[in-house]
Amino acid sequence: MNLTSNLTRPRGNTVLVMGARGRFGKAAVHAFAAAGWHVIAQARSAQDELHLPQVVTLQCDALDTARILAAVPEVDVIVNAVNPDYARWDSLLPPATAAVITLAKATGALLMVPGNVYNFGAGLPAVLHEDAPFVANTPKAAQRIAMEQSMADAAAEGVRSVVIRAGDFIGGTGTWLDMAITKSVNKGVVTHMGPNDLAHAWAYLPDLAKVFVRVAEQRSQLAAFEVMHYPGITATGQQVHAALEELSGRTLKAKAMPWLMMQGIALFSPLLKAVMQMRYLWQRPHQLTGRKLENLIGKLPASSLHEALRAYVK
C-alpha cells in the first residue's frame, strides 16, 4: 500500500529503505520483509513491484527529509540504497548522504550503507582488510571516502552507522554483468573485461541483502561507526566464463572489452567517461576478507557463482 499519512508504528522492527527501486534497494526490501521486518520503501517513482506483505511505499524525493520524517517519525534502521547517476556523483552524492544522516539523527535509527572497493584507489591491494588504507587517486575514490568520513563524523552527533563493503553487484540490471560481460551471451559470446586470470570481488545481491538484515538484528553490538567487509564471491574472468558455459550448455567465445573504442566515445559521454575511470578494477586482482563480519553474525550467506549467474543465461 502507499504511505499517504503518518505511519502508525507497528510492533517489531521497522526499516526504511531509501532508494527502494534500485538494484540493492529492491533486494533489501525483499530480504527485510522475508525476515519479518516492517518495511517502508522510499522511491521517487511508483513502486508496484514492491507491493509485498509488510511493505508500505513512500513516493517522494530522497532529499525531502521533512516529508519523510512527517510520514515516518519512528524507525529502527535506515538502509541507504540511493544510487545517484554515476556521472553526477560529485553533485548528487553529498546531498543524498547529508539527507540520510539527517534522517538517522532525527529518528535515532542505525544508518546502513553498502560500500564498495573504490575507496582503495587505482592501486588497490590484492587482499582488502577493513584497515587497508584509502587512496583518493580517482574521482570515485575521493567521493566515497568523503561519504564515509561524513558518516564517521556524524557519530559525534549521536548518529550510529555501519558501512558494509562489498564487490561489484551480481543481480538486477545496469551492472557490469548485464551491460557488458553477458550482453551477448545468448549469441554465444562472453565479454572479458581484462586479463581473465585476475581475481575480482563480486556480491550477489540476495546474499548481501541478507547480510544487512543479520547485521541490523545485531545492531546493539555495533560501535557508533563501523566498517565491515563482505567477501561475497571471488572469481576470475575465466571462472565466470566457465560458469556461463556450464549454465548455457555450450561453448562460448571470448571477446575483449573494446576499451580503446570506449575511450573515444567517452569524450562525448560523461557517463562513459565515469565508467572508463573504473577500468583499473579489471586490471588489479582484489578480494575482500570478512572475518569481522563473520564474528558478528556467524556463517555468511554464500551462494555459488553458478547460482548467482543463472539469471543471466536465458
Residue 180 lies in a domain: no
Residue 87, pLDDT above cutoff 80: no
Residue reference for cell 539523527? 105
Cell matching residue 261: 573504442
Residue 303 lies in a domain: no
CA dihedral of residues 134, 137, 142, 145 (deg, nearest 10) = 0
| Residue 142: domain span | 14-167+205-232+286-297
CATH number at residue 135: 3.40.50.720
The 8-class DSSP code of residue 202 comes to E
Q: CB neighbours of 225 closer than 8 A, spacing ≥ 6? A: 151, 152, 154, 155, 160, 161, 162
Residue 6, pLDDT above cutoff 50: no
Residue 3 lies in a domain: no
Q: Measure the CA–CA gap between 43 and 178, rounded to whole angstroms.
A: 23
Chain CA centroid to CA 223, Å: 22
Q: Measure the CA–CA gap between 13 and 39, rounded to whole angstroms.
A: 9
Cell matching residue 19: 532508494
Residue 149 lies in a domain: yes
Residue 256 lies in a domain: no
Using alpha carbons, list the distances in angstroms from residue 163 to 31, 222, 229, 250.
18, 11, 8, 40
Tens of pLDDT, residue by residue over 277-310, are 889 999 999 999 999 999 999 999 999 999 999 9
Q: Specify the higher pLDDT residue, 183 or 73.
A: 183
The 8-class DSSP code of residue 301 comes to P
* Buried b / exposed e along 239-248 (16+ C-beta atoms within 10 A): bbbbbbbebb
pLDDT of residue 1: 39
Q: Measure the CA–CA gap between 207 and 217, rounded to whole angstroms.
A: 16
Instruction: Work out the average pLDDT over 227-255.
Output: 97
Cell matching residue 306: 553458478
Report residue 273's pLDDT band, with 50, 70 and 90 as the boundaries. confident
Nearest by Cα to 83 from 184, 172, 197:
172
Instruction: Work out the average pLDDT over 41-64.
Output: 85
| Cβ-defined contacts of 93-102 (< 8 Å, 24+) | 93/143, 93/147, 94/146, 94/147, 94/150, 95/63, 96/62, 96/63, 97/147, 97/150, 97/151, 98/150, 99/62, 99/63, 99/65, 100/18, 100/62, 101/150, 101/151, 101/154, 101/159, 101/161, 102/65
- CA quadruple 82, 86, 87, 89: dihedral sign: positive
Considering just the CA atoms, what is the radius of gyration of the chain in Å? 19
Residue 2, pLDDT above cutoff 90: no
- Structural domain tally of the chain? 1
pLDDT of residue 48: 66
Nearest by Cα to 80 from 148, 174, 17:
17
Instruction: Work out the average pLDDT over 82-86.
Output: 81
Residue reference for cell 553533485? 91
Q: Measure the CA–CA gap between 297 and 161, rounded to whole angstroms.
A: 17
Residue 192 lies in a domain: no
Residue 90 lies in a domain: yes
Residue 18 lies in a domain: yes
Q: How many residues does the chain have?
A: 314
